[in-house]
Amino acid sequence: MSERTGVGTRDFLLPDLGEGLSEAEIVEWRVAVGDVVTVDQSVVEVETAKAVVDVPCPYAGRVVALHGAAGEVRPVGQPLITIAPLDGGGTPDPHATYREEERAGSGNVLIGYGTGHGGAGRRRRRPRLALAPEPGAPAPAAPGPALAAGSPARTDPLTVAATSVPAGSADRTPDPARRGDPASAPLVISPIVRRLAREQGIDLASVRGTGPGGVIRRADVETALAAPAARLAAVPDAPEAHVGLVPAGDGDVVVPLTGIRKVIADKLSRSRREIPEVTIWVDVDATGLLETRAAINAATPDAPVSILALLARVCLSGLRRYPQLNARVDTEGQRIVQSAGVHLGIAAQTDRGLVVPVLRDAQRLTTGELAAALAETTAAARAGTLPPARLTGGTFTLNNYGVFGVDGSTPIINHPEAALLGVGRIVDKPWVVDGQLAVRKVTQLSLTFDHRVCDGGVAGGFLRHVADCVERPALLIANV
């Protein structure tokens, strides 16, 4: 996305970094006014409601303006950076504009969630520490429609303290106890590292940097998390130390509804508002399923299969028989769209909140491939390394809330899907087997479905098929 804004100059507009995302927050500029950039060079790191993403610029030339400051939210389709052609048409050296943090390896990220260690709530907007200017580089500009060379720097106390570091040195986070001695302050380059330390309550003065020249990297902060003495004591007059929490009087705490929490709230509200959902459930004896899993893993110890993978296989079998549930309602077109492939969503709880990574065309995978894909996907979701494209486009969701120790739920459908299967914990319960009371492994299955796509007969048939396969896995094998 671009538009021309003058003789030879081009504005690179903030693109849609995920399906339907309307804005992104600037985390860190990778370049400054006056820098030379090459085609597809990363120029800024932004945070959307789904991920932290490095944004590459499609143009080569010299940076003449940065539109927005760190911490500012920019809408999709608005100017992000303005590029002018090089004088004389020379070819820029792609290595000339590498920032110090890339050379120091201080925790920068590629496409994905970034560090993934932040809490689910987003912090309040607050001034960020400015990077110390490199020799000959222009001073950072004040936030506004565009940052141009020669603009005055911000004068808040944090910025003044940060920019008082001698030019050419790494950025140093000021420690209140040593504010008068910048040379003794901890060496921190990456805003991501500073943010992680702040959110986890880590005093950077107590962290030993292992990067070049003693630079504190993300790994150093993560190591310090294991040391309780490194955590800062709560400061009564500094409520922003509690990330995203704002005192509201009488001891109340207000959590700003921003970032991923806002996306979750909007999506679930829309689901409840638009979808006439119904939940049905059944208790099932999962003893046979557990025995089948044990037999499979004994036969293939190098490729273990999880209960989640077997449940996913059961869902795929049910959707093959009842494709009405693998669908969505197109309200504008007044039609129901049944998907040709099953793009299976797996609800996963992460530090950033609830996300639903998707396995596309899951019906094409073997049970072993399903197990491997599920393990990789859920691990990547919790680590925060999945790109936004992996978090959208699902057609049916499997939610194993039994891992939280609960028996049942009436889950909300992941809009615009038409159904979701929830699985409770598997526990020992009395069960009648062949007329005799026995102790069996019992779980509860809950199906929430959109009553517009089908009636109770279809939904009940699907849930009964799933329950029968859980109780008698031979039925699953016969239908694969």
Read off the pLDDT of residues 346-400 as tens digits, 9 standing for 90 and up: 999 887 788 899 999 999 999 999 999 999 999 988 887 888 888 889 999 999 9
| DSSP secondary structure string for all residues of 150-181 | TPPPP-SHHHHHHHTSPTTSPPBPPPGGGTT-
Q: pTM for the full model?
A: 0.55
Terminal CA-CA length for the chain:
46
Considering the chain, what percentage of its residues have pLDDT values greater than 90? 44
Could you tell me if 147 and 69 are in contact, meaning their C-beta atoms sit under 8 angstroms apart?
yes
Q: Which structure tokens are listed for 134? A: 């490199």
Bond prior to 140 in cis (omega within 30° of 0): no
d(CA 202, CA 77): 37
Q: 337 - beta bridge partners?
A: 328
So which residues are the catalytic ones? Answer: 451
Q: Which structure tokens are listed for 356? A: 């639903």
* pLDDT category of residue 311 using cuts at 50, 70 and 90: very high
Most trustworthy range by pLDDT among 170-174, 233-237, 252-256, 424-428: 424-428
| DSSP secondary structure string for all residues of 295-334 | HHHHH-TTS---HHHHHHHHHHHHHHH-GGGSEEEETTTT
* CB neighbour class for 252 (10 Å; exposed up to 12, middle 13-18, buried from 19): exposed
Interior CA angle at 87 toward 84 and 88, to 5°?
135
Other Cβ atoms closer than 10 A to 327: 22
From start to end of 251-405, where are the E strands?
Answer: 253-254, 277-285, 327-330, 335-338, 344-346, 348-350, 353-355, 358-359, 396-399
Distance of alpha carbon 375 from the chain centroid:
17
From start to end of 38-132, where are the E strands?
Answer: 41-47, 52-57, 61-66, 73-75, 79-84
Pairing of strands 396-399, 419-423: parallel
Q: Quick one: which H or E segment has residue 191?
A: helix 191-200
Read off the pLDDT of residues 446-463 as tens digits, 9 standing for 90 and up: 999 999 999 999 999 999
